[in-house]
């Protein structure tokens, strides 16, 4: 992203979420604030979504990962005593402003200061109320660690916590990815994390590889290239080594309940560390 400007990929993801509410009527997940927070004409959002090459596939993936994250959060609150939610790379995510559990959780939205300032402007312009349970946590990772940023915001590492980290991992170098995952896996109160990633394009079937390369070229052109990819089995082993005793990794065939799609491409992972006394 450019200095002083919000992430353009965060804006693109927000448009996909909004388009899903318009074109599919929120069939996969309902978000009554997705269009409102953008402040854009719904007809124009729909037109651009329908004209985009491969746009529907990406829109469905973004809708599915959001639904998976929110369902996993609800189960973790009910069954594992989660009391804090950290939204990493929050962008224009609206869970803190509409989620059914927002009043039961202490919520931290972590993002680059420029993107977070842009979001707060959008919320004010859209007259979306900011709940008292939410704490904004601006973190510039070139100058500050996640641990430092959360500590400054009043995060309690002794409380069991759920992290969502959607649409971020592919844009980071692996040392930064593992710094975050190792931190989450070692939290004394125990933690869950949901994130998405992609397998290396060399493992894709030809048609999927073509789509991947087109999307990769598009995000690279706006200065936010994909840089990290993972082998599924290797990632699972590394997550276990990082302290996550449970790893639920879902590839395309499971995400969309279609065995013909195979297991190569975009994945969604829910990993959890054991309950700690």
Q: Are the beta carbons of 18 and 38 closer than 8 angstroms?
A: yes
Place of tokens 């009910």: 78
Confidence at residue 164, expressed as pLDDT on a 0 to 100 scale: 98
Position 4 pLDDT exceeds 70 = no
Return the pLDDT at 198: 96
Give me the chain's average pLDDT, please: 93
Please answer whether residues 248 and 54 qualify as being in contact, where contact means their C-beta atoms are separated by less than 8 angstroms.
no
Q: 23, 27, 81: which is closest to 52 by C-alpha?
A: 23
DSSP structure string for 145-208: -HHHHHHHHT--TTS-EEEEE-S-GGGS-HHHHHHHHHHHHT-TT-EEEEEEEE--GGGS-HHH
Q: Which of 62, 52, 56, 139 is nearest to 93 (CA)?
A: 62
pLDDT band at 5 (very low <50, low <70, confident <90, very high): low
User: Would you say 34 and 77 are in contact if contact means Cβ atoms under 8 Å apart?
Assistant: no
Q: How far apart are CA 41 and CA 23, in angstroms?
A: 14
Among candidates 35, 57, 248, 99, which has minimal Cα distance to 85?
Answer: 99
- 194 contacts 270 by C-beta, under 8 angstroms: yes
- R_g of the chain, CA atoms, integer Å: 18
pLDDT at 275 over 80: no
Any idea which residue has 């973004």 for tokens? 62
- Rounded percentage of the chain residues whose pLDDT exceeds 70: 97
More confident residue, 53 or 202: 202
What tens digit of pLDDT does each residue of 213-243 get?
Answer: 888 888 888 888 999 999 999 999 999 999 9
* CA 247/CA 235 separation, integer angstroms: 10
Q: How far apart are alpha carbons 228 and 199 in whole angstroms? A: 9
CA distance 274 to 215: 37
pLDDT score, position 143: 85
Helices 8-23/55-80 angle, 10° precision = 90
Q: Is the pLDDT of residue 85 over 70?
A: yes
Q: What is the mean pLDDT of residues 28-41?
A: 96
């Amino acid at each position: 992203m450019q200095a002083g400007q919000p992430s353009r990929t965060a804006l693109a993801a927000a448009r996909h979420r909004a388009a899903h509410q318009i074109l599919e009527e929120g069939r996969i997940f309902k978000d009554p604030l997705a269009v409102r927070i953008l402040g854009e004409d719904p007809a124009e959002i729909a037109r651009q979504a329908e004209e985009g090459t491969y746009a529907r596939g990406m829109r469905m993936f973004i809708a599915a990962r959001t639904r998976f994250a929110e369902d996993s959060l609800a189960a973790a609150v009910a069954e594992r005593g989660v009391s804090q939610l950290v939204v990493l790379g929050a962008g224009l995510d609206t869970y803190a402003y509409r989620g059914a559990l927002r009043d039961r959780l202490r919520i931290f939205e972590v993002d680059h200061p420029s993107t977070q300032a842009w979001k707060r402007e959008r919320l004010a312009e859209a007259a979306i109320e900011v709940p008292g349970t939410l704490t904004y946590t601006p973190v510039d990772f070139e100058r500050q660690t996640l641990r430092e940023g959360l500590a400054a915001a009043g995060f309690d590492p002794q409380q069991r916590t759920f992290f969502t980290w959607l649409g971020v991992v592919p844009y980071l170098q692996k040392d930064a990815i593992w710094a975050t995952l190792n931190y989450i896996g070692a939290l004394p109160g125990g933690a869950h994390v949901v994130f998405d990633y992609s397998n290396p394009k060399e493992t894709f079937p030809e048609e999927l590889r073509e789509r991947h390369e087109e999307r990769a070229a598009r995000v690279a052109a706006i200065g936010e290239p994909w840089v990290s990819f993972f082998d599924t089995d290797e990632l699972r082993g590394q997550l276990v080594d990082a302290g996550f005793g449970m790893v639920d990794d879902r590839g395309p065939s499971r995400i969309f309940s279609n065995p013909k799609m195979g297991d190569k491409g975009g994945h969604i992972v829910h990993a959890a560390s054991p309950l700690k006394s």
